[in-house]
Each structure stands twice: as structure tokens, then as C-alpha cells.
Structure 1
């Protein structure tokens, strides 16, 4: 596994990156535009998080911040942790992953299979909360001289991974015709890196983020401050924050749209019923956001809309698909918070 750099872009070989984009005929027909899905679940860890995991690990090794046999430490909802655990093991290192108690059992099982040591924390509310995944991961790494906290929420390699790989892939795979990019916002690395690259190629490309009700990044994008009244976030695994991550760069983001957990769950089950494909939780939120934008008449028939599906629904079987919900797409309109 190594990096290849050509024409100022980077491809990760042989197995991370270069994931396919496929036109979704069902969604394209339903919404009357051209909708493509960037299928990140084709990465070896079945997640887009393999990209920043690899960049952060390589950066730490290159800068000699960790010695062979040491421990990479991360606070993760599961996917970044899995990417770090897999890559660290392959390169001769260990991994210690701090997850919140909302992490799905499917993800915990995968982390254990990858050989990661796991600690379950109360929340992922940021470094100011002593019981958060971020604080406890940082504290653990600080006490071990051969441990390195990759810190995806504040590591510039998170943005760089998507600027150097994901953005160029999307641009090339759409022949430069992408008009809209929609993705969930958690650490902010994906939307910041992809958004920067696509805006550099065509400033009119619309970069739209999706987050759950109660998250503060929509407010931050609009006002560049955090709201005075921070409320609990509608729990959609992997996205939404009550703090502003350092890896979120608002300069290349046009809008952040808020969706409800119940609508996201309904969209996941609707999409599965119509296509037999199980999408992940943040992908379901993107579908809810797409539905909301559609009802605001945001798309033309000639547009090329790319939806970012960071992982697969098999990691959310108990959270998304075990309980059937009433599906009423006509009324499932995501509203701004």
C-alpha cells in the first residue's frame, strides 16, 4: 500500500480509493435529474474513512511521531477507527479506539475483528467534555510515549486525503460535469477537501452538507460562531456535532441542511424497498437532504448530482432496518433547523 502522485493528485494503491461512481436510475427517474452515487463502501474497510486513516498514519510515520510497534489512538464512531486498526496492523502497529456508547454493535464487532483495543465512552462531545471519546483518547495517548493520537477532528490530513483523492476522482468520473455534491458532515474532512477541489475546478459547483437536527454546523456556516443555546443532537451515527471540528473548513461549503433521524430512517427503508440496497446511516441522511432540496426546486433536469455514500448499511442493521417504519415519501420533507 503506497501513494502515487501524478498531475498534483494522489491515488492510493492498490486498494484504498478509486471507488466507483454509478448513476442511480431509480433516484434519477424519481427526482427528474441525473443522480450519481459515490460508492465508498468499496474501500477495504468498507468506508470512506480508510482515506484519512491512511493519510494520518503515513504522516505520523513520516514525521517520526511514533515508533514501530506503537499504538495509534483515535476517537471514532467506528469507521475511522476500523481504517486505522486495519492499516496499523498491516504496517506493524497497534490501535486503540475510543467509541461512544451510541456506536453500533456491528461496528464494534468489526473493530474487534481488526484487532483494535476498544473503550466505550459516554459521548463524542469534544475535548471540553472529560467523558468524551476525544478527551479520553487524547489523555490515553499523552500517557504513552509510543502512542499517537491521530485526532481526525483536528488533523489537516483528514481534509488533505479528500482534496488529493476523493475530489479528483469525482471530477474525473463525471468528466468535470458534476453540478452538486451532497455529503453528511461529521468531522468535516470530506466536505472540506472535496469542496475545495471541486470549487477550484468550477466555482459554480454546489457543495451541500447534511447534518441532523440539533447539530451546530449549519449555524456556524451562516454566522461563523457557535449558537449560545446548544441542544442535544438528533442522533445520526457518524454526523452532527455540538462543537466545530478543526477539520471543517466552511470556505468551500455553500449550504448545510438539517434532517430528522426519523426521516433518514424512513428514507433508508424506502431506498432498500425500491433498490434492494441497504445504505448506511449518514447515506440515509443524504437521501433525506436530497428529498428536501428537491421539494425546494433546487435541481434542473440537466444537473449532475453526486451523493456521497461513505459506508454500507450492513453496519446499521439493528439501527436502521430491524424496526419497520411507515414510509410516506410524499410527506418526508426535510426542513431547515
Structure 2
């Protein structure tokens, strides 16, 4: 990638998790990117593609529907290139992310939900409508932009393959737009088709159902949101052919696992990162991991963006004590 502050993020072996689950657990730490998240990668690719194709003129405004991280990446990169950014976030977006977006120079609009283009009150519909009715604006549309997958196919996947020296056997990643798991999964399976590509989503999200059946459920219900992952529509950047299975976890167990991991390691994991940890605990027997495996967990951002949601114990005095052994 030509922007040296995006990509080439480190992986580290987590001794605590490796011992706990009797395997070799590594973590890809994407908070080392420019905007402290994995979303900087597709943000850069989508902006570059739009500029090269002449879809936006100098000084214009990039528009996105985002839970925060993609919006921040777009805001920072656009500003460096002389453009503006307008980001539509749902009311479930953490206050930390909204503050960071505002401080970075983004214009923010808060919407009722992120339920897709069919919902007039969603971030996606309102972002698309704004771009369609204002001159010199471009809706990057991460949910349907092919550059979302391409960014991870061209950068994240090759980095992981090189950093694990081709020894990776399992890749675990939260699934929201689907861009990360689709791009990384495609690259890794081209190198070794037996690598397990496992997604994580909240209970009630429909992506697992779609992966298994190729259809959406007849009845789509609201689900308990884990910020950044899970959907009640199928994004165009979700490629089920690259994914072996999707595990579902609950919000409460995700919060509990984030706190347990912090207590053991001193590290604040982000919301979707904690969901990946929760899946390891909940489905450990089903996963059948062993000491010969090399398991890569994808941590797309940092827990400092979710302090009010994950680590404010005083707001959740009734929380259960988590057993850290599977």
C-alpha cells in the first residue's frame, strides 16, 4: 500500500489464549493503522478508486454509512487529499467513536438504524439519498463496493500469510460488511484450500442462515447489536464461497469475555474482537483445535473506542462472573 501508515500491522502470539485453548493463538492487531482500525484499508481503496475514475472532483465530499471505523478512515484520508467527509452513523454508535469522528473533521448525522437501503431511516438509505441530491459528493458504499473485498485480498491476506510463514490453519473474524472475511478468505484459500475461514456474528443476525441455506429468513427480527458486526440484510461485499462457517455469540457473553480478557492480560479488546474471543470460549469443543494448529484472530480495532459499552462495570453491577476456562 502506498500509504505507509496503513497496512503492515503486526501479529503477536497470545500466550494466555494459547495456553487456555491448547493451541497456537496469534492476534492481528489492526489498531496500528492510521485511524486505528482495519477499515482504513477499504477506505483508502474506495477513495483512490473514486478519484481515479473521476467520480468526484477536488474539494468534494465523500459520504459513508458507518458504525464509526470506516467513517473515520474515510474522514482522515479524504482530508489529507483535500476532500470533505459526511458520515451517517446509527444511534447505537459509541460516544467515543462519534467524538473521534467529530474531532477528525467529519460532519455527522445520526440515524435510527443501519438496516440497509430498504429502510428509509437507515444510515445506508440516508447516505445514498444525500449523495444523490448534492453536487460533487460520492457515496463510497462499503456494503456494496468491490474495493472493500479487494483491499483485504490485496493487503491483509498476503500480510497474514507472510507473517505466519504459511502455517496458518484457522482465521477467525467478525462479520459485518463481509469485506474482511471475504477478501482475506479468498486469498488464504488460494494459498491453501484447507485453511478454515470462520466468521463471528451476533445471535439473530442472518448471515449464518444465508451461508447455510442461500436464502434470507422468512422473518427478520431485530437482534442484540454487537457494534460493527451482524446484519439483517445481505451486503454485496459478503462472499459466502470463501467462508466455512459462521458462529453466533450473544452480547452479554461478549461483554463478559472482553472484561475477562482485560483482567487476564491488561488489554482492551474492541467489541467485535471480544465477540471472536467469546466464540472461542463457547464453541471450543466444536472447533476441535489442537497444539498443531495456528489460529489467527482478527482484532479490527481497539477497546478504547468502547469503554462506555464494554468496560464501565459500574453501569452493569449485575454482570455474571466469567469462568475463563472452556
What's the TM-score once normalised by structure 2's chain length? 0.97
- For residue 330 of structure 1, report the CA deviation from its aligned partner: 6.0
**Deviation readout 1:15-52 (Å, 9 max, x if unpaired):** 10000010000100111000000000000100000000
Long gaps (5+) in structure 2: none
Look up the SS of the partner of 1:96 in the other structure: strand
**Deviation readout 1:121-162 (Å, 9 max, x if unpaired):** 000000000000000000000011200000000000000000
The answer as to 2:300 corresponding to 1:300 is no
Cα distance change, pair 226–297 in 1 and its aligned pair in 2 (3 A): closer
- For residue 329 of structure 1, report the CA deviation from its aligned partner: 2.4
**Within 2, Cα distance between the matches of 1:117 and 1:268?**
31
1:329 match: 323
**Within 1, Cα distance between the matches of 2:225 and 2:283?**
21
- For residue 233 of structure 1, report the CA deviation from its aligned partner: 1.4
- For residue 119 of structure 1, report the CA deviation from its aligned partner: 0.1
Q: Which residue of 274, 282, 287 corresponds with 1:284?
A: 274
**Within 1, Cα distance between the matches of 2:203 and 2:262?**
23
Look up the SS of the partner of 1:145 in the other structure: coil
Look up the SS of the partner of 1:209 in the other structure: strand
1:217 match: 207
**Within 2, Cα distance between the matches of 1:41 and 1:91?**
22
Look up the SS of the partner of 2:51 in the other structure: helix
List, as ranges, runs of 4+ consecutive aligned residues in structure 1 with deviation greater than 3 Å.
none
Q: Which residue of 123, 137, 151 corresponds with 1:147?
A: 137
After TM superposition, the structure 1 = structure 2 runs for residues 1-337 of structure 1, keeping only pairs within 5 Å, are: 11-323=1-313, 325-329=319-323
Long gaps (5+) in structure 1: 1-10
**Within 2, Cα distance between the matches of 1:142 and 1:161?**
25
Q: Which moved more, 1:295-304 or 1:258-267?
A: 295-304
Q: Is the contact between residue 12 and residue 165 of structure 1 (CA under 8 Å) also seen in structure 2? A: no
- For residue 231 of structure 1, report the CA deviation from its aligned partner: 1.2
Look up the SS of the partner of 2:283 in the other structure: helix
**Within 2, Cα distance between the matches of 1:229 and 1:328?**
33
Look up the SS of the partner of 2:296 in the other structure: strand
**Deviation readout 1:100-123 (Å, 9 max, x if unpaired):** 000000000000011000000000
Q: Which moved more, 1:272-281 or 1:226-235?
A: 226-235
- For residue 234 of structure 1, report the CA deviation from its aligned partner: 1.5
**Within 2, Cα distance between the matches of 1:122 and 1:292?**
31
Taking only aligned residues, the RMSD between alpha carbons, in angstroms, comes to: 1.1
**Deviation readout 1:168-219 (Å, 9 max, x if unpaired):** 0000000000000000000000000000000000000000000001100000
